Amino acid sequence: MSVVSSFSCPQARFSYMRMKYLFFSWLAVFIGSWIIYGQYSTYTELCRGQDCKKIICDKYKTGVIDGPACSSLCAKETLYFGKCLSTKPNNQMYLGVWGNLQGVVKCQMEQAPHLDFGTELEPRKEVVLFEKPTRGTTVQKFKEMVYSLFKAKLGDQGNLSELVNLILSVADGNKDGRVSLPEAKSAWALLQLNEFLLMVILQDKEHTPKLMGFCGDLYMMERVEYTSLYGISLPWVVELFIPSGFRRSMDQLFTPSWPRKAKIAIGLLEFVEDVFHGPYGNFLMCDTSAKNLGYNAKYDLKMVDMRKIVPEMNLRELIKDRHCETDLDCVYGADCRTSCDQSKMRCTSEVIQPNLAKACGLLKDYLLRGAPGEIREELEKQLQSCVALTVTANQMEMEHSLILNNLKTLLWKKISHTNDS
């Protein structure tokens, strides 16, 4: 009797352990399947490139729109979409191949005709697609429309007429010396997009990706080889199981050498100069996260996503007198903040933090990690002064220029005699 009991007890324990193992195995399979299904559903919602192409090509084939990329996209089919890069359904983004060229294709799916602080500042297609300019609009009238749009977005700059002429030269996709109505409709739709406007304004600047072509409000821009300041790209399934703290540590480990980081940082400082009181007014960087910046094989900084870089005049006009209860109600993007006037319960129009302070906040840990000992203390001091910059400080512009030039000089002196420069 005691022998039977001694055998039955281990058997029961073994049976219990096996059931427990099977239960957790099935639970893991169920959870994993649920996660994969959820991610697949998200992917199909995010990646609607074929829908976007159909909308654009239908309009092109009926003569509504035209542009330098239309024939290749819709007739010859030598421009096609590759890997989906979209992060939001209303902003389709794909790797694109156009003949022998590679780039990034962007296409808008819906409409947000005004700046809404609860959503994205991303124009979308109107209910009637590409309705402006209307048939019968003369070139002179179209120029007046573009001028008025720029005046509203950029303020009363003295050289807006030059920018209008620049836009007309870009709109003339087939370079026949005239802008047709379909070309004008494409140009008007694109001018609602801040990223497109910036690419045209800064087309000769080193750190702005080049515009390769467009059709309607779909456009293709230069591809940036490395699409984040640091880190490694992992499959999304792996990303799901990596804690954010450990991911940040991984990012810091997988960075270029310090001299190369310094060269990339100099590029970002130069881009800040490009958008700070540029030829057509000041633009505000409203999302300075690392995912919006990249670099090429020579470690020259290139902007990856400029959709959250907005004209200062445009932002100020749209945010002023907005109802608020706290300062948190007066934020656009991640980084453009004004204050809430508690006596009036309205947002003020003055953005608190300048572009340079935001850029230095991003660069601080990036540059201090691995910095040479002989400049580390001075570098940290300058970065702290930079992060502390405010728009309301007296002589802000002079201080802004001084800090920016000092930082560039410090970094450049350290790397100017290395191969990385």
pLDDT, tens only, 350-367 = 898 999 999 999 999 999
pLDDT-based confidence at 244, cuts 50/70/90?
A: low
Stretch(es) of the chain classified as CATH 1.10.510: 257-416
What was the pLDDT predicted at 391?
77
The answer on pLDDT for 36 being more than 60 is no
The answer on pLDDT for 306 being more than 60 is yes
Report percent pLDDT > 70 for the chain. 78
What's the mean pLDDT when you consider all of the chain?
A: 83
> Highest mean pLDDT range out of 90-94, 264-268, 287-291?
264-268
- What average pLDDT does range 305-316 have in this prediction? 91
CATH of the structural domain 257-416, one choice from 2.40.50, 1.10.1200, 1.10.510, 1.10.3470 = 1.10.510
What was the pLDDT predicted at 38?
45
What was the pLDDT predicted at 164?
95
What was the pLDDT predicted at 234?
59
pLDDT-based confidence at 143, cuts 50/70/90?
A: very high
d(C-alpha 249, C-alpha 241), whole Å: 15
Q: Which of 112-116, 257-261, 269-273, 356-360 comes out lowest in average pLDDT? A: 112-116
> Per residue in 315-325, pLDDT tens?
988 888 789 99
If one compares 126 and 344, the residue with the highest pLDDT of the two is 344
pLDDT-based confidence at 229, cuts 50/70/90?
A: confident
